[in-house]
Amino acid sequence: LTVNTTTNSESKPKAASGGLAGIIAGESAVCKTTQTALIYRGYEIADLVAHATFEEVMYLLLKGNKPSTSELADFRMRLAESARLPDGSFEIATRIAKAPSFNFMDALRTMVAFIGHFDPQSQDNSTEAELNKSIRLLSQIPLLIGQIQAARENREPVRYDANLTHAGNLLYQITGKKPNADESKLLDSSLILYAEHDFNASTFASRVIAGTLSDMHSAVTGAIAALKGPLHGGANEAALDMIQEIGTVDNVDTFLEKAFADKRKIMGFGHRVYKNGDHRAELIRRQGRAYAERYKPSALPLFDVGELTDKRMREQKNIFPNLDWYSALAYYALDIPIELFTPVFVASRVSGWCAHIMEQHANNKLIRPLSRYTGPDDRLWMES
Ligand SMILES: CC(C)(COP(=O)(O)OP(=O)(O)OC[C@H]1O[C@@H](n2cnc3c(N)ncnc32)[C@H](O)[C@@H]1OP(=O)(O)O)[C@@H](O)C(=O)NCCC(=O)NCCS
């Protein structure tokens, strides 16, 4: 078999390296990343975690500016008003929750596709309609997560509580118990950290879908499918699996030695963009540990495992933990079941996806790159 290495084009385009690493694939005013900073609409993430709430960050991402007090109150009211799901959604969630091949991310993907059928503006790609749809998605995704989890636990889902924050409501949906302010605050910080990250795989997937002039629910459904994978959002679940597999600080060195020998990846480490460390990891580590010290001392031995593994990975491989490594421990301390770690990521990142979908539609160009052809040429069907 001869292999042809010409491109699928008459012109001579530049070749991208594997996985489009290092390629600027478009323009965006939503978020900027450097080796040391992650900036949402001009505000650095550490500043946002210290001073903003997730509600304010959602507004910032969607509208481009920090909300005034009245704009924030209006935004919160609209989130509360949107906290309703179509009739029959709990029946469908229950059916899926009992399916033999159940997977939480698959279930959430299906449920988001389902609610799209009932959104009054589902086929309207105007900015105004997309802002409305963004608010509905942000409000409804925690309820969908709550319905799926309630069905898994054979209980009724709980209702949205306007006295809780967005993060507080998400925790309430997951556990069925009203969280205290510190629990809500820890999750709020995590949601801020996970909200946006320029052209990451799921956001890029959402923009590719939006770029065909498909609708927002379709683009978000596709983004959830992309986020599921363990090289992307699924890494927070894989990270806790690995921390639990290591088990104790005494086992860290033996575990890593074997993992390196087997060329096994340590989930929750490494990053396509940050090669000298992901500063979001330290922000959530500090808050997660402080929370565990106060409320969940039984989680501290796993924090010790996480921190020693981090130290050894830096020393031996010069590879740093990413946000998922310590988010996994924070979620463990919050008693969030492991299969909900990536769905919680969805509840946050949907704010970034919606901002990007709107930006894509506002100045649309079909995203359609070329490939370098590596298959055979000149074959004849009757001669093969
Ligand atoms: C995130 C990730 C996909 C980035 O991948 P990338 O930019 O394509 O980088 P590569 O996978 O090519 O890694 C470069 C080198 O570092 C090593 N490396 C990267 N991440 C590693 C990890 N988590 N554990 C062990 N080695 C790792 C690779 O084996 C490779 O080594 P080599 O050059 O000797 O082959 C990768 O670091 C990874 O798979 N991490 C684990 C999953 C994860 O945490 N994902 C969440 C990302 S936020």
Q: Which residues neighbour 226 within 8 Å (Cβ) at sequence distance 6 or greater?
A: 201, 202, 204, 205, 206, 232
Average pLDDT for runs of 10 along the chain of length 384? 47 76 94 96 98 98 98 98 98 98 98 98 98 98 98 97 97 97 98 97 98 98 97 94 98 98 96 93 98 98 98 97 97 97 98 98 96 94 92
> What is the whole-number distance in angstroms between the Cα of residue 245 and the centre of ligand 1?
19
SS (H, E, C) the chain: CCCCCCECCCCCCCCCCHHHCCCCCCCCCCEEECCCCEEECCEEHHHHHHHCCHHHHHHHHHHCCCCCHHHHHHHHHHHHHCCCCCCCHHHHHHHHHCCCCCCHHHHHHHHHHHHHCCCCCCCCCCHHHHHHHHHHHHHHHHHHHHHHHHHHCCCCCCCCCCCCCHHHHHHHHHHCCCCCHHHHHHHHHHHHHHCCCCCCHHHHHHHHHHHCCCCHHHHHHHHHHHHCCCCCCCHHHHHHHHHHHHCCHHHHHHHHHHHHHCCCCCCCECCCCCCCCCHHHHHHHHHHHHHHHHHCHHHHHHHHHHHHHHHHHHHHHCCCECHHHHHHHHHHHCCCCHHHHHHHHHHHHHHHHHHHHHHHHHCCCCCCCCCECCCCCCCCHHHC
Calpha distance 336→329 (Å, rounded): 10
The contacts found for 294-302 with CB under 8 angstroms, 24 or more apart, are: 294/182, 295/182, 295/183, 295/333, 296/333, 296/334, 296/335, 299/329, 299/332, 299/333, 301/248, 301/249, 302/243, 302/244, 302/329, 302/332
| Nearest-CA residue for atom 15 of ligand 1 | 270
> What is the whole-number distance in angstroms between the Cα of residue 374 and the centre of ligand 1?
26
> What is the whole-number distance in angstroms between the Cα of residue 42 and the centre of ligand 1?
29
Structure tokens at 192: 């801020």
> What is the whole-number distance in angstroms between the Cα of residue 20 and the centre of ligand 1?
15
> What is the whole-number distance in angstroms between the Cα of residue 190 and the centre of ligand 1?
23
The minimum-distance atom of ligand 1 relative to the CA of 278 is: 48
> What is the whole-number distance in angstroms between the Cα of residue 267 and the centre of ligand 1?
9
Phi first, then psi: what are they for 237, rounded to 5°? -70, -45
Catalytic residue among 166, 232, 271, 361: 271
pLDDT of the residue at 3: 42
pLDDT of the residue at 11: 61
Q: Model pTM?
A: 0.94
pLDDT of the residue at 51: 98
pLDDT of the residue at 384: 86
262 is catalytic: no
| Residue showing tokens 């539609």 | 361
To test the pocket of ligand 1, the residue of 204, 265, 316 to mutate (highest count of ligand atoms within 8 Å of its CB) is 265
Q: Which residues neighbour 169 within 8 Å (Cβ) at sequence distance 6 or greater?
A: 83, 142, 160, 161
Catalytic residue among 119, 215, 278, 324: 324
| Nearest-CA residue for atom 6 of ligand 1 | 272
pLDDT of the residue at 16: 75
| Nearest-CA residue for atom 1 of ligand 1 | 271
To test the pocket of ligand 1, the residue of 240, 266, 271 to mutate (highest count of ligand atoms within 8 Å of its CB) is 271
Q: Which residues line ligand 1 (CB under 6 A)?
A: 19, 21, 231, 235, 265-272, 319, 322, 324
The minimum-distance atom of ligand 1 relative to the CA of 259 is: 25
The minimum-distance atom of ligand 1 relative to the CA of 268 is: 44
| Nearest-CA residue for atom 2 of ligand 1 | 271
pLDDT of the residue at 74: 98
| Nearest-CA residue for atom 40 of ligand 1 | 270
